[in-house]
Structure 1
Amino acid sequence: MRDLGLLRRRYGYYWTRIGLVLAALGGIITGFILLGDSWFQLLMAGALAVVLTQVAFLSHDSAHRQIFNSAGWNDWTARLLSGALAGMSVSWWRNKHSKHHNAPNQLGKDPDIAIGVVAFTPDHVARRTGLVKWLGDRQGWLFFPLLTLEGLSLHVASIQHLFRRGATRLERVEAAVVVSRVGGYIAALYIVLPMGKASAFLGLQLALFGVFLGASFAPNHKGMPLVPASMKLDFLRRQVLMSRNIRGGVMVDFAMGGLNYQIEHHLFPSMPRPTLRKVRPIVREYCQVHGVKYTEVGLFESYRIVIDYLNNVGLRARDPFQCPLAATMRN
Structure 2
Amino acid sequence: MTPSTIEATEREARGSDFARLSRRVAEAGLLDRRPGYYTLRLGLVAVLLAGGWAAFLALGDSWAQLLVAVYLAVVITQVALVAHDLAHRQVFRSRRLSQAAGWLAGNLLVGMSYGWWMDKHTRHHANPNHEEHDPDVSPEVLIWSRRQAEASRGLPRFLGRWQAFLFFPLLTLEGWNLHVASFRALRRPHLKHRWVEAALLVAHVAAYLGVVFAVLPLGKGLLFVAVHQAIFGVYLGCTFAPNHKGMPTLTAEDRLDFLRRQVLTSRDVRGGLVVDIALGGLNYQIEHHLFPSMPTPNLRLAQPLVRAYCAELGVAYHETGLVDSYAQALRHMHAVGAPIRARGSSTGSGSAGESQDAA
TM-score by length of 1: 0.92
For residue 129 of structure 2, what is the aligned residue in structure 1? 105
For residue 259 of structure 1, what is the aligned residue in structure 2? 282
For residue 160 of structure 1, what is the aligned residue in structure 2? 184
- Return the alpha-carbon distance in structure 2 between the equivalents of residues 186 and 229 of structure 1: 45
- Secondary structure of 2:177 counterpart: helix
Contact 2:108 2:204 in 1 (8 A): yes
- Secondary structure of 2:294 counterpart: coil
- Structure 2 counterpart of 1:186, from 191, 205, 209: 209
- Return the alpha-carbon distance in structure 2 between the equivalents of residues 203 and 317 of structure 1: 32
Equivalence map 1:1-331=2 (5 Å): 1-128=25-152, 133=157, 135-162=159-186, 164-166=187-189, 168=191, 170-315=193-338
Deviations 1:9-58 (A, max 9, x none): 11111111111111111111111111110000011101100110110111
- Return the alpha-carbon distance in structure 2 between the equivalents of residues 47 and 252 of structure 1: 18
- Return the alpha-carbon distance in structure 2 between the equivalents of residues 132 and 54 of structure 1: 30
For residue 347 of structure 2, what is the aligned residue in structure 1? none
Question: Percent of aligned pairs with the same residue?
Answer: 51
Name the amino acid aligned to 2:183.
Answer: I
For residue 325 of structure 1, what is the aligned residue in structure 2? none
Q: CA RMSD in A?
A: 1.8
Deviations 1:183-236 (A, max 9, x none): 220122112101111011100110000110101101111111111224221111
- Give 1:131 deviation, angstroms: 8.8
For residue 324 of structure 1, what is the aligned residue in structure 2? none
Which has the larger share of helix? 2
Alpha-carbon distance change, 165 to 279 in structure 1, aligned in 2, over 3 angstroms: closer
Name the amino acid aligned to 1:166.
Answer: P
Alpha-carbon distance change, 165 to 273 in structure 1, aligned in 2, over 3 angstroms: closer
TM-score by length of 2: 0.85
Aligned length: 317
Of structures 1 and 2, the larger Rg is shown by: 2
- Return the alpha-carbon distance in structure 1 between the equivalents of residues 340 and 314 of structure 2: 26
- Return the alpha-carbon distance in structure 1 between the equivalents of residues 154 and 218 of structure 2: 38
Name the amino acid aligned to 1:213.
Answer: L
Contact 2:116 2:191 in 1 (8 A): no
- Return the alpha-carbon distance in structure 2 between the equivalents of residues 174 and 167 of structure 1: 13
- Secondary structure of 1:310 counterpart: helix
> Unpaired runs of 5+ in structure 1?
319-331
